[in-house]
Each structure stands twice: as structure tokens, then as C-alpha cells.
């Protein structure tokens, strides 16, 4: 069942999931889709022509990768806003701009001129789109992230370093602490193992349902 706003019957179109690599975004996306009858827009990793190369040579491919993700998520958001279904989005356009791109620039893995060009492009794009109706942030410690990454066994993630994950986590915390674009729900993945524990999954669904009622 797709929730609507009682006042004007406008569909709640966009629920977005944010979180570090291995936080459980795809798993929760599928759980929400099954429970609420929503569609899912996944992060396009399988058809990404730069991802494997990026993890092998980050400096060479960082700008290409970030522009690809920016374009992909912009197209996703346009489809969501133009559609008539509620969609849960696996990762957001904001994470590219506030987490991954600046982290690469600060690590010397993206040229400053490329980062400035990317930022200008992002600002132009984000001015044309509406923020998600609900942002769900999956907060996870480094040990939890590493466990999830190892369990799913994606070849291109094998070279991700602990230091890289730590830097991303710090940026995520800073971004979420300053997020003002819309309603926000933070779920501590260390405390709620919704992938393997049905009771935890039920509790997370209750938390999401409570936030949806707050939108009415």
C-alpha cells in the first residue's frame, strides 16, 4: 500500500536510504519494498563502467566515477518525481557530493579542478530536484561494515581499506548532523540486525512506519 497525504492525496514518492559501504542499504530497500509494496531504485553497480577500475586506481578514475553516479542518481530522481509510485532509493545524490567526492579530493585522489567542476555540476542539478520525503540513514561502526562487506564478497570491494571506511564514516556523521532538507530517521545498524533477526526487522519497520505517520 502506498501512503498518501490526507490533505491533498499527494503520493509519498521518495524514501531514500543513505549509509556507508556495507551498511545494509540494499537489504533494507528490499525489506521496505516487500512490506510497503514500494518500488526500489538500486545503486547501479553492475552496469557501472568505472567501479572496478576505480578501486584499482582511485586517482585515475575518481572523477569519471563520481560524474557517472551523479548522472545516474539525477536520472533516478527525475523518474521518481515524474512517476506515480512510491520508490525507495538505494543511496542518494547527496552522498556523492557531501561524502565521496570531497573525501577523494581531500585524500589527493581527485584533482582540485575536477572537484570544483563536479561541485558546480552538482549544485546545478540539485537546484532542479526535490529532496526525499523521508531520508533513512543507516549508521554503522567499522567492524559492522567490514563484516557485511566480507560476507557479500564483491570482488571490486576487496581492496577497500579500513582507513577509507573510517574517513567516509566521519563525513557521513558530519553530513547527517547538518541535514536539514527534510525528515530524517537514523537507524543504528550495530543495534538492529535486520538482515538476520526478524524481531529487529519488525522493529525497524515500525520505526519507518512511525516516521511516515509524521509526514501526514
122-126-128 Cα angle (round to 5): 130
Q: Is 114 a catalytic residue?
A: no
93-98-103 Cα angle (round to 5): 120
Helix then strand then coil, % of the chain, to nearest 5:
55, 10, 30
Catalytic annotation, pick one of 8, 39, 44, 90: 90
Q: Is the dihedral of CA 4, 42, 64, 156 positive or negative?
A: positive
Kind plus residue range of the DSSP H or E element containing 93 = helix 93-95
* Residue 185 to residue 136: CA distance in whole angstroms: 5
Could you tell me the three cell numbers for 70?
A: 551523479
Backbone dihedral region for residue 22 (phi beyond 0: left; psi -120 to 50: alpha; all else: beta) = left
Nearest to 177 by CA among 124, 116, 98: 98
Catalytic residue annotation: 90
Amino acid at each position: 500500500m502506498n501512503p498518501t497525504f490526507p490533505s491533498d492525496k499527494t503520493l509519498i514518492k521518495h524514501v531514500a536510504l543513505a549509509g556507508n559501504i556495507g551498511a545494509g542499504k540494499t537489504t533494507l530497500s528490499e525489506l521496505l519494498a516487500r512490506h510497503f509494496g514500494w518500488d526500489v531504485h538500486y545503486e547501479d553497480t553492475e552496469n557501472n563502467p568505472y567501479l572496478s577500475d576505480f578501486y584499482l586506481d582511485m586517482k585515475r578514475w575518481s572523477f569519471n566515477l563520481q560524474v557517472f553516479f551523479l548522472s545516474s542518481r539525477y536520472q533516478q530522481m527525475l523518474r521518481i518525481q515524474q512517476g506515480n509510485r512510491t520508490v525507495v532509493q538505494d543511496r542518494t545524490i547527496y552522498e556523492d557530493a557531501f561524502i565521496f567526492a570531497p573525501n577523494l579530493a581531500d585524500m589527493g585522489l581527485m584533482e582540485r579542478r575536477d572537484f570544483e567542476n563536479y561541485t558546480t555540476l552538482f549544485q546545478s542539478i540539485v537546484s532542479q530536484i526535490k529532496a526525499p520525503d523521508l531520508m533513512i540513514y543507516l549508521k554503522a561502526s567499522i567492524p559492522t561494515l567490514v563484516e557485511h562487506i566480507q560476507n557479500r564478497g564483491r570482488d571490486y570491494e576487496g581492496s577497500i581499506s579500513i582507513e577509507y571506511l573510517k574517513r567516509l564514516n566521519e563525513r557521513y556523521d558530519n553530513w547527517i548532523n547538518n541535514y536539514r532538507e527534510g525528515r530524517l530517521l537514523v537507524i543504528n545498524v550495530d543495534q538492529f540486525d535486520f538482515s538476520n533477526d526478524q524481531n529487529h526487522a519488525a522493529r525497524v519497520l515500525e520505526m519507518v512506519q512511525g516516521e511516515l505517520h509524521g509526514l501526514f
